[in-house]
């Protein structure tokens, strides 16, 4: 008997707990030659805004030990082009597509949530709250519980689809943020987005990234991500999606033990385009080898 790999997130049934993370997998099509999209649980598309966004000047990325910094600046095609040019591909794949999105005011978030709610090919919504609120002096929504809750409340009213809120790790107390989002109506929480970091070119005495700071991702952030998933999973009742530095099936299974119901694979797809698929297969193999019948039995099963 093959172990049962299926999990459920807010009514969304996934064939296995492995998804690809927003911004690291394009709109799905880019990687379709290298990975069997029907061998993974779901894929999350690049963060969308109402209007197309150009993003930051270059350099936008730089490798750092065990990770990379990115300051893409949320470049994306905008929701209209997404519907025209990207959604037709989603229709051809028998795997749930989750649309990640962001705005600069709660109203903008709500409007986008409404637009995405109307797209049948979009199985669920993932709200990125790691963006500045232009109405409140640029404070990042995801760093203030009140601000975060206002965004979630606005989106909740605009969609009946599963609403996943993606938390920023750049906060003093991630549990407080998680609870605020849960109370405001989040169906699930994605933990974590990138950690703000910086790289300096000594000889030029300049920051490496044109944007000065960027988001750190990759294996370097895994211990932080694991800790945050563990903290959040204990404090909320909604499912948690673990993200951060997952490179292998072992990494993914550790996140499940820490309390995650599913995981997202980000930077690993750059290193190995087939990573998400290989991780899902590796998890199943591990379960089989250890006589574990269902992957669900590992969720939060950390001992001690």
Partner 1 sequence: MQFKAMILDNAEVSPGYWRMRMTAPPEILEAQPGQFVMVRVNPSIDPLIRRPFGVFDVGLHQPAYTGAAPQPYLEILYRVVGKGTAMLSALHGTDLLDIIAPLGSGFDCGPAGEEKLIVGGGVGLAPLYLLARELVKDSPVRLFAGGRSKDDVLCITEFERLGVECYTATEDGSLGEQGFVTKVLEQRLDTTGNKGRIFACGPHGMLQAVAGIAAGRHIPCQVSLEGYMACGVGACLGCVCQGANHSSETPDYRCVCSEGPVFDVTELKWEGACHAT
- The contact set with ligand FMN (CB under 6 A) reads 21-24, 46-47, 70, 72, 74, 100, 128, 166, 193-194, 217-218, 221, 243-246, 265-268
Under the binding rule (CB under 8 A), the answer on residue 65 touching partner 1 is yes
Task: Provide Rg for the chain, Cα atoms.
Answer: 18
Residue 131 among the catalytic residues: yes
- Contact partner at residue 243 from ligand FMN, partner 1, none, CB < 5 to 8 Å by partner kind: ligand FMN
When asked if residue 66 is in the footprint of partner 1 (CB under 8 A), the reply is yes
| Contact status: 212 vs partner 1 (CB under 8 A) | no
Restricting to residues 160-189, name those near partner 1 by CB under 8 A.
none
Residue closer to ligand FMN, measured from CB, 72 or 280 = 72
Sheet arrangement for strand 195-198: 61-64, 67-70, 213-217, 195-198
Spatial separation of the C-alpha atoms in residues 244 and 55, rounded to whole Å: 23
What does 66 bind: partner 1, ligand FMN, none (CB cut-off 5 to 8 Å by kind)?
partner 1
* Count of C-beta atoms within a 10 Å radius of residue 117: 17
Instruction: Choose between 4 and 198: whose C-beta lies nearer to ligand FMN.
Output: 198
Minimum distance, C-beta of residue 25 to ligand FMN, in the bound complex (Å) = 9
User: Which DSSP helix (H) or strand (E) runs through 128?
Assistant: strand 122-128
Total number of residues binding partner 1 (CB under 8 A)? Answer: 35
Q: Compare residues 167 and 292 and give the one whose CB is closer to ligand FMN.
A: 167
72 binds partner 1 (CB under 8 A): yes
Q: Determine, following the binding rule CB under 8 A, whether residue 304 of this chain makes contact with partner 1.
A: no
146, with CB counted inside 10 A (0-12, 13-18, 19+), is exposed
CB 17 within 8 A of CB 256: yes
Identify which of residues 100 and 150 has a Cβ nearer to ligand FMN in the complex: 100
* Residue 14: both structure tokens together: 């996934």
- Using CB under 8 A as the binding rule, whether residue 269 contacts partner 1 is answered as yes
Of 233, 139, 146, 138, the closest CA to residue 183 belongs to 146
Stretch that binds partner 1, among 28-36, 101-109, 128-136, 143-151 (CB under 8 A): 28-36
**Cα distance between residue 225 and residue 223, in whole Å:** 5
Nearest to 145 by CA among 169, 178, 170: 178
Of residues 270 through 289, those in contact with partner 1 by CB under 8 A are 270-274
Q: Is 193 helix (H, G, I), strand (E, B) or coil?
A: coil
70 touches partner 1 by CB under 8 A: yes
Active site residues: 131
């Amino acid at each position: 008997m093959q172990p049962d790999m299926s999990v459920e997130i807010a009514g969304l049934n996934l064939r296995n707990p492995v998804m690809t993370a927003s911004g690291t997998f394009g709109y799905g099509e880019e990687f379709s030659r290298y990975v069997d999209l029907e061998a993974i649980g779901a894929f999350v598309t690049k963060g969308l805004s109402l209007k197309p966004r150009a993003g930051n000047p270059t350099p936008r990325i730089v490798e750092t030990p065990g990770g990379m910094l990115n300051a893409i600046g949320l470049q994306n095609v905008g929701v209209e082009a997404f519907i025209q040019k990207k959604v037709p591909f989603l229709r051809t794949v028998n795997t749930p597509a989750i649309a990640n999105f962001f705005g600069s005011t709660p109203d903008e978030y709500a409007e986008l949530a409404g637009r995405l709610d109307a797209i049948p090919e979009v199985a669920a919504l993932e709200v990125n709250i790691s963006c500045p609120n232009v109405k409140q002096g640029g404070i990042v929504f995801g760093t203030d519980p009140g601000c975060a809750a206002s965004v979630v409340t606005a989106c909740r009213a605009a969609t009946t689809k599963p609403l996943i809120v993606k938390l920023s790790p750049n906060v003093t107390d991630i549990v407080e943020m998680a609870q605020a989002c849960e109370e405001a109506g989040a169906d699930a929480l994605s933990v974590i987005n990138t950690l703000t970091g910086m790289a300096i070119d000594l000889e030029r005495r300049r920051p490496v990234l044109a944007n000065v700071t960027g988001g750190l991702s990759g294996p370097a952030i895994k211990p932080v991500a694991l800790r945050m998933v563990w903290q959040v999973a204990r404090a909320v009742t909604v499912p948690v999606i673990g993200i951060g530095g997952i490179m292998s099936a072992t990494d993914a299974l550790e996140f499940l033990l820490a309390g995650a119901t599913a995981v997202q694979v980000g930077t690993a797809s750059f290193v190995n385009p087939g990573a998400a698929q290989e991780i899902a297969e590796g998890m199943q193999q591990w379960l089989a080898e250890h006589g574990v019948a269902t992957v669900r039995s590992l969720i939060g099963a950390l001992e001690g």
